[in-house]
Copies of this chain bind each other. A is one copy, B any other.
Amino acid sequence: MKAPIDFYFDFSSPYSYIANEWIDALAARHGRTVRRQAILLGVTFTAAELKSPVSYPIKRDYSLRDFQRSARFERVPYVPPETFPIPTQNAARVFWWLKETLGETAAAGWTRAGFRAFFTRGVLLNDATALKALAADAGLDADAAERAWSDPVWKDRLKRANDEAIAAGVFGAPFFVIDGEPFWGNDRKAQIEQWLTSPF
């Protein structure tokens, strides 16, 4: 039995969204499953003394262009959100609530729904009304979702996820760990595929 691929992401990370669209099929081709870990990139940036690439003016223009080009390259629909980046703690807490009460598949479905909502329709995941509507669209009990993101249990679970990510050496997203080998970035897809075929 091969170990699952750990996949760390933030709901506001464009490269994480793109990777979320290809990681399951890639993992399945190599007999692996994916273990998703929703985190807050701001927390790992602070721990690593880093900042978002879009916080640097010169890098920002390139990054915004590269987000779109990288999405086209992977044939993933992408509409740049007008508000970006956004705080994603509520979406991440709903993720952990689903993951720990319903399991990986429910959490993966929510991940897909959240990413697609933000990066193809500009749905503001930090807006309570919009997030409840999204939860309902995704077949969840919207009121229960709201209770979950307000619940200290899931707030703490997300904090622990951030701490565990930092301890695992995560300093950006998407970040993958495969049998202990770390891969940072949507652009490590080819290396990941090669590694799963035969570590090099």
Task: Point out residues on A near B: beta carbons under 8 Å.
Answer: 47-50, 56-59, 61-62, 65-66, 69-70, 72-73, 169, 171, 182, 184-185, 187-188, 190-191, 194, 200
- Asked if B49 and A191 sit within 8 Å, CB to CB, the answer is no
- Asked if A59 and B200 sit within 8 Å, CB to CB, the answer is no
A70 CA / B50 CA spacing, docked (Å): 22
| Chain B residue nearest in CB terms to A191 | B73
| Chain B min CB distance to A179 (Å) | 14
Q: Describe A's contact surface by its main secondary structure.
A: helix
Q: Given A49-B56, A56-B50, decide whether A169 and B73 contact each other with a Cβ distance below 8 A.
A: no
- Asked if A70 and B191 sit within 8 Å, CB to CB, the answer is yes
Question: Considering the complex of A and B, which 10 residue pairs feature the smallest CB-CB distances, nearest first?
Answer: A48-B58, A187-B187, A58-B171, A72-B200, A73-B191, A59-B171, A49-B56, A48-B56, A62-B182, A48-B59
| Chain B min CB distance to A41 (Å) | 14
- Copies of this protein in the assembly total 2
- Asked if A62 and B187 sit within 8 Å, CB to CB, the answer is no
Contact of A69 among B70, B72, B185, B200 (CB under 8 A): B200
* Among A72, A171, A184: residue with most chain B CB under 10 A: A171
Q: Chain B residues with Cβ under 8 A from A169's Cβ?
A: 58, 61-62
Q: Given A187-B188, A190-B190, decide whether A58 and B47 contact each other with a Cβ distance below 8 A.
A: yes
- Asked if B65 and A182 sit within 8 Å, CB to CB, the answer is yes
| Chain B min CB distance to A167 (Å) | 11
- Asked if A171 and B69 sit within 8 Å, CB to CB, the answer is no
18 new A-B contacts at CB < 8 Å, known A47-B58, A49-B56, A187-B187:
A48-B57, A48-B58, A49-B57, A49-B58, A50-B56, A50-B59, A56-B171, A58-B169, A58-B171, A61-B169, A62-B169, A65-B182, A69-B200, A70-B191, A72-B200, A73-B190, A73-B194, A190-B190
